[in-house]
Amino acid sequence: MATTTTVPGASPISGSRSLLSRLREGDEIARLITFLFAASVVVVTLLLVFELWQGSALPRHKFGFNFFVTRVWDPIFDQFGALPFIYGTLVTAGVALFLAVPLGIGAAIFLAELAPARVSDTLEFFIDLLAAVPSVIYGLLGVFIVVPLMREYIQPGLKNSLGFLPFFTGPAYGLGFLTAGIVLAIMVIPYIISVSREVLLSVPRDQREAALSLGSTRWEATWKVVVPFARTGIMGSIFLALARSLGETMAVTMVIGNTPTISASLFSPGDSIASVIANQFTEATGDLYLQSLIELGLVLFLLTFILNGLARLLIVATSQRGSGMGQA
C-alpha cells in the first residue's frame, strides 16, 4: 500500500524522486543546522569547564590541597588560601537556609493544603515575581535598609539577649555574615516555596484522605503523612536554594564586609567566594593571584554543579513517586 512519509529518512514508495529528494535534502539541512546549534551548547559548556581547569593550573600545582585549608590570602607574599572564602560562603548559605527553610516550607504547606485554589495561585504568582527580582536590587535594599536595621536594633538586641552564645559576640557593624545570610534568605525563599508547593500538590489525595479518615487532625495529616511523602522533593528544593545562595554575588558583596575572616561570631565581617572574585578579579596582577581566583571559581562551580544535580534527582524522584503510586 502506498503510504506517504511518516518516518523521516525512509525512502518513499510513491512520489516523484526529484521532489522528494529535494525535500529530504531540506530535512537534512534542517537537521544539520539545528544539530549545530544544539552541539554549540555542549561545546560552550565543555569550553567553560576547560577554561576553568586550565586557568587554575598554577595554584593547583603549587598549593595542591593546601589551597583548601590555608587561611591566609596575601597577594604581597603570594600566599593564597581558600578557607576564609569557603567558610564565608558556607556560613552565609547556612544562615540563609536556617531562616528560609522553615518559613518557606510553612508557606508552601499553607499554599498547597489550606488555601483555596485561587488564593494559592495568586500568592504563587507574587512569589514567582519575588524570584525574578535581580540580585543587585536586593543588594541595594540590603545596604540601605537591612544594614542599618541590623546595626541599630537587631544586632544589639541579639547581643543583649543571646550574647552568651559565640555566634552573637563582637561589635555590631551592621555588615557581616548574619546580614548577608538574612538577605540571601529573602532571595531563596521563593524557590523553596514554589518547588515545595508543587511537590506537595502532587501528593495523591488518597494519602491525605486516608489519614483524615483515621481520625487525624488537619495538621497531623499534613505534617505526618503528606509532608513525609513529599520529603525528597522538599529536600530537592532546599538543595536548589542552597545552590542559589552559594553562587550569589552582588547582594552578598554589598553587605558582607569584604574581609577574609574566619570567626564564630555571625556579626563578624567576612567574604564569600563569589564576592572576592567580583572584587579582585580585574586587578589581580601576577598569574598566581589571578589563577587562584579562577581556582576559587572552579570550586564554586563544582559545588553548585553537585548540588544542582542532587536537587534535580530528588525533585524528579518525588514527582514520579507522586504520580505513580496513587492507587494502592
Partner 1 sequence: MSGRLRWRKFVSGFMLTMTGVCAVVAVAVLFFILGYLVYHGGTSISWSFFTKLPTPVGEAGGGMANAIVGSAKLLLVASLIGVPVGFFGAIYLAEFSGGTVAFVVRYAADLLNGVPSIVIGIFAYSLVVLPFKHFSTLAGGFALGLMMIPITLRSTEEFLLAVPRPLREGAMALGASKWRTIATVIVPAAYRGILTAVLLAFARVAGETAPLLFTAFGNRFWSPGWNQPTASLPVMIFTYAIAPYDDWHRQAWAAGLVLLALILIINIVARAILARGIAIPRS
Partner 2 sequence: MKKIAGLLVAGLVLAAGVWAQGALLINGAGATFPYPIYSKWFDEYHKLHEAIQINYQSVGSGAGIKQVTEGTVDFGASDGPMNDEQLKAFQDKHGFAILHFPTVLGAAVPTYNIPGVTAALNFTPEALAGIFLGRVTKWNDAAIAGANKGVSLPANDIVVVHRSDGSGTTYIWTDYLAKVSEDWKNKVGKGTSVNWPVGLGGKGNEGVTGLIKQTPNSIGYVELIYAAQNNIAYGSVKNSSGNFVKADLAGVSAAASGSVKDMPEDFRVSITNAPGKTAYPISSFTWLLVPSKFSDAGKRDATKDFLKWMMADGQSYAEQLSYAKLPKEVVAKEIKAIDGIQ
Chain positions 251 to 280 lying near partner 1, rule: CB under 8 A, are: 254, 274, 277-278
Query: What part of residues 296-325 is at the interface with partner 1 (CB under 8 A)?
Result: 297, 300-301, 304-305, 308, 312
Which does residue 310 bind out of partner 1, partner 2, none, counting CB within 5 to 8 angstroms by kind?
Answer: none
SS (H, E, C) 14-74: CCCHHHHHHHHHHHHHHHHHHHHHHHHHHHHHHHHHHHHHHHCHHHHHHHHHHHHCCCCEE
Task: Tell me, rounded to whole angstroms, the distance of Cα 213 from its chain centroid.
Answer: 39
CB 188 within 8 A of CB 102: no
The answer to whether residue 75 forms part of the interface with partner 2 (CB under 8 A) is: yes
Minimum distance between the CB of residue 84 and partner 2, rounded to whole angstroms?
Answer: 11
Residues 6+ apart with CB under 8 A from 327: 206
The answer to whether residue 173 forms part of the interface with partner 1 (CB under 8 A) is: no
Site for partner 1 (CB under 8 A): which residue of 82, 97, 246, 266?
246
Which does residue 194 bind out of partner 2, partner 1, none, counting CB within 5 to 8 angstroms by kind?
Answer: none
Which does residue 69 bind out of partner 1, partner 2, none, counting CB within 5 to 8 angstroms by kind?
Answer: none
Residues 6+ apart with CB under 8 A from 48: none
Burial of 53 (0-12, 13-18, 19+ CB in 10 A): middle
Site for partner 2 (CB under 8 A): which residue of 59, 190, 236, 269?
269
Minimum distance between the CB of residue 182 and partner 2, rounded to whole angstroms?
Answer: 17
Q: Between residues 152 and 220, which has the closer beta carbon with respect to partner 1? A: 220
Query: What part of residues 208-267 is at the interface with partner 2 (CB under 8 A)?
Result: 253, 257-259
- The H or E element that residue 241 is part of is helix 231-247
Round to whole Å and give the CA distance between 56 and 51: 8
Q: Which residues bind partner 2 (CB under 8 A)?
A: 72-77, 147-148, 151, 171, 173-175, 253, 257-259, 269, 271, 279-280, 282-286
